[in-house]
Structure 1
Amino acid sequence: MSRVVTLSAPLPDRRPRNRRRAMRVLLVDEQDRLLLFRDSDPGLTPVPIFWITPGGGVDPGESDLSAAIREVAEETGLAIDRDDLVGPLAERVVVHGYSDVVTTQDELFWFVRCDAFEVSTAGHTEVELATMTAHHWWTRAELEQTDEEIWPRDLLRIWDHVGHGDTLQLGDVDESTVAPG
């Protein structure tokens, strides 16, 4: 995550806009539970809460696979390698309106089967430490029944695509806490 935390939200048409390529990873343990992080936008009152998969932006010169591996290590403490990644499962272009920036992401989703582990946030950035306030291993039943905001909203559809061998095309999606304007 590269956004800057602010205390007040600029008008939608005055927020900076950026575009980046991002990798998201579905980490599923041996009990068929999926790891998600509780994220927030502290620039708004009340502070919106949403749950996200581990992942983030691809650095200049970095491959998609390398970015997925790095993001998992930074956000969870889990070391994986290329052979652990299944996919890409899905791809989409998503717009996220935050209180301080509108980000358009070209996203790929990957799958990793892993043993349950104790999540480490030692690799989190200052912004992640401020905004990502919890993590939880979710069962499918919990995801189906929750009223919590889950990003991507079609997470179960992506999870169900494991093993299909092709990449699910999800198109253009708007998942905003603040309308892009």
Structure 2
Amino acid sequence: MTTLPKDLPIVERDVVRLVVRDSEDRILLFHTRELSAPELGVWWELPGGGIDEGETYLDAAVRELHEETGIIVPPEQVGSPTWRRTAAFRHRDSRHLQHEVVCEVRLEGPGPDVDEAGRFEYEKEDYFDFRWWPIAEVVASKEAFYPRNVPGLLTRFLAGEEIDEPFELWS
């Protein structure tokens, strides 16, 4: 693994990220920014968050999806964590070192609007928009994403391939 910069305190945690796919083959992405680092610009990010002590990735996936989007799904709609990665980035005056698993969540209908009522205040500030993206548009996009390799790995992930992504120093 790349040596982490010693610029900020490090917060290490396990995280689940979600590729939420609707019946129209679109995935949900949040338009995001880091207010403490405006030089990073804006990017599109997969929903997800920390796995709390005592939680499984499945518990965290269902909870995070509900908190961040208002979407409620049973655990059976959450796929296996077939994409694994470790990444580091700056966020709110700390450096997050995250051990992430990525799971697919299949919705039975078209993607709904996002209900942000369950979000933390910092999430309401950071996530300023959302979009249901057609998969082909994500794959072809030149916009910035977190994880950075979403366009390059999405098709393989959705095809069920096991992915162990190298360490990513995102910011």
> Which of 45, 61, 64 is residue 52 of structure 1 equivalent to?
45
Matched, 1:147 2:168: no
**Aligned-partner Cα distance in 1 for 2:14–2:34:** 21
* Equivalence for 1:171: 166
* Counterpart code for 2:19: L
List gaps (5 residues or longer) in structure 1.
1-11, 177-181
> Which of 119, 132, 135 is residue 124 of structure 1 equivalent to?
119
Q: Note closer, same or farther for the CA distance 1:47–1:168 as it changes in structure 2 (3 Å cut).
A: closer
* Counterpart code for 1:161: F
Is the 1:72–1:78 Cα contact (8 Å) retained in structure 2?
yes
* Equivalence for 1:78: 71
* Equivalence for 1:20: 13
* Counterpart code for 1:109: V
**Aligned-partner Cα distance in 1 for 2:155–2:48:** 15
Superimposed CA distance per residue, residues 50-106 of structure 1 (whole angstroms, 9 cap, x where no aligned partner):
111110001111111100110000011111121101121200111112361111100
* Counterpart code for 1:168: I
Is the 2:139–2:154 Cα contact (8 Å) retained in structure 1?
no
Is the 1:90–1:158 Cα contact (8 Å) retained in structure 2?
no
**Aligned-partner Cα distance in 2 for 1:159–1:129:** 29
* Equivalence for 2:156: 160
**Aligned-partner Cα distance in 2 for 1:109–1:88:** 5
Q: Note closer, same or farther for the CA distance 1:47–1:152 as it changes in structure 2 (3 Å cut).
A: closer
**Aligned-partner Cα distance in 2 for 1:96–1:44:** 11
**Aligned-partner Cα distance in 1 for 2:83–2:144:** 20
| Displacement over 3 Å in runs of 4+ | none
- Higher mean displacement: 151-160 or 70-79: 151-160
Q: What percent of counterpart residues are identical?
A: 29
**Aligned-partner Cα distance in 1 for 2:40–2:154:** 27
- Higher mean displacement: 20-29 or 36-45: 36-45
**What is the CA-CA distance between 1:117 and the residue it aligns to?**
1.3
**What is the CA-CA distance between 1:148 and the residue it aligns to?**
2.0
Length, aligned pairs only: 164
* Counterpart code for 2:76: D
TM-score by length of 1: 0.83
**Aligned-partner Cα distance in 1 for 2:68–2:123:** 9
* Equivalence for 1:32: 25
Q: Note closer, same or farther for the CA distance 1:83–1:48 as it changes in structure 2 (3 Å cut).
A: same
**What is the CA-CA distance between 1:146 and the residue it aligns to?**
2.8
**What is the CA-CA distance between 1:46 and the residue it aligns to?**
4.5
RMSD of Structure 2 on Structure 1 (CA): 1.8
Is the 1:77–1:121 Cα contact (8 Å) retained in structure 2?
yes
